[in-house]
Amino acid sequence: MKPAPTFQNNRDRLVYLLAEYKLLIGGMLVGAAVLFAYYQPQLPTLPTWIPAVAVGWLVLAIPCYLVGAKIARWLRRRNWVEVHHVNAVEDTTEKYYVPPELWREKEIDGPDPYPVNGGSAWAVREYEYLEDIGQLRVEGVWLEGCQDTQLMTSKKQMQDIHGWLIDRAEELAAIRGRWSRGSVELQKKLVTADAEANERGQMIQKTAAKETFGDLIEDGEDPEDAPTIHDLTDAPDPTADAAVGYGQDEQANEQPQDPRLNDD
């Protein structure tokens, strides 16, 4: 007895039928071809409005679909919160639309999100949506309380500080070489002075080390301060208030004096 066949899907069933009844199926196809060649059937003439409708549908279908899809997306997201994910590592920006309920219940790690586009959208550095528990985790932008002209990206600031550190490292390497040569020169001076003092019965030159140190200081350059946010923006530096007349000493002098203190 032949076992019953098993099929995984409809494709296996079709292959089985074609293999078992290939003669019957082949005869049916040959008969259909003979009948078609003998009678030569012709399709009826279609009304004129059917081709017109087909052409109009082909011309208007794609624009109407795009406009309708855009309107549908706008209706769906008109009340959603626009969030911009600023990825400083890959230097990319992605835009997300978050439902208001999910945005109100978000979890913030670190600084708060930064408002952009006049407060209609938010910018974050980290964006992660946990679909299994329906929770949104975001991390805001540094200096989220600053103005747009004061807000600088961490990438730009790190590049400037890195360049400043490279320049300082090169200067320190050159200073190290000068100090090494100066130490050798100082040692020679001390040995020579000690030998002359022993021969002549004199005191050792006490200013040899001071003179050598002074020469090294004159050869070096004063290091510059590291770049800050105020150097990268046009905003005034609040730390310079004391230098422009708003220090504590001037504020104290502006207080009115009691005329009775000057009475004789």
More confident residue, 148 or 199: 199
Residues 84 and 72 in one domain: no
239: pLDDT confidence band, cut at 50, 70 and 90?
very low
Tell whether the model's pLDDT for residue 245 goes beyond 50.
Answer: no
**pTM of the model as a whole:** 0.37
Three-class SS of the chain: CCCCCCCCCHHHHHHHHHHHCHHHHHHHHHHHHHHHHHHCCCCCCCCCHHHHHHHHHHHHHHHHHHHHHHHHHHHHHCCCEEEEEEECCCCEEEEEEECHHHHHCCEECCCCCEEEHHHCEEEECEEEEECCCCEEEEECCCCCCCCCCCCCCHHHHHHHHHHHHHHHHHHHHHHHHHHHHHHHHHHHHHHHHHHHHHHHCCCCCCCHHHHHHHHHHHHCCCCCCCCCHHHHCCCCCHHHCHHHCCCHHHHHHCCCCCHHHHCC
- Domain final position from 113, 139, 165: 139
Residues 186 and 217 in one domain: yes
90: pLDDT confidence band, cut at 50, 70 and 90?
confident
Residues 83 and 69 in one domain: no
Residues 159 and 97 in one domain: no
Integer distance in angstroms from the first to the last C-alpha of the chain? 137
Is 257 a member of any domain? no
Give the span between the Cα atoms of 138 and 124, in whole angstroms.
7
C-alpha distance from residue 79 to each of 76, 84, 162, 171, 200 (Å): 8, 16, 43, 57, 97
The whole-number pLDDT of residue 141 equals 75
Is 1 a member of any domain? no
Is 69 a member of any domain? yes
Residues 26 and 63 in one domain: no
Of 5-14, 29-38, 153-162, 254-263, the least confident: 254-263
Q: Per-residue pLDDT averaged across 257-262, rounded?
A: 41
The whole-number pLDDT of residue 247 equals 38
The whole-number pLDDT of residue 114 equals 84
Residues 231 and 166 in one domain: yes
Residues forming a β-bridge with 95: 84
The whole-number pLDDT of residue 70 equals 92
Residues forming a β-bridge with 97: 82
As for how many domains the chain has, the answer is: 4
The whole-number pLDDT of residue 225 equals 61
Question: Strands 81-87 and 121-124: what pairing?
Answer: parallel
Tell whether the model's pLDDT for residue 67 goes beyond 70.
Answer: yes
Is 260 a member of any domain? no
Q: Are 140 and 108 in contact (CB under 8 A)?
A: yes
Quick one: tokens of 220? 């070096």
pLDDT tens digits along 196-233:
777 776 666 566 566 666 666 665 555 566 555 555 54
Residues 160 and 109 in one domain: no
Residues 24 and 87 in one domain: no
Is 211 a member of any domain? yes
Residue 87, domain extent: 79-139
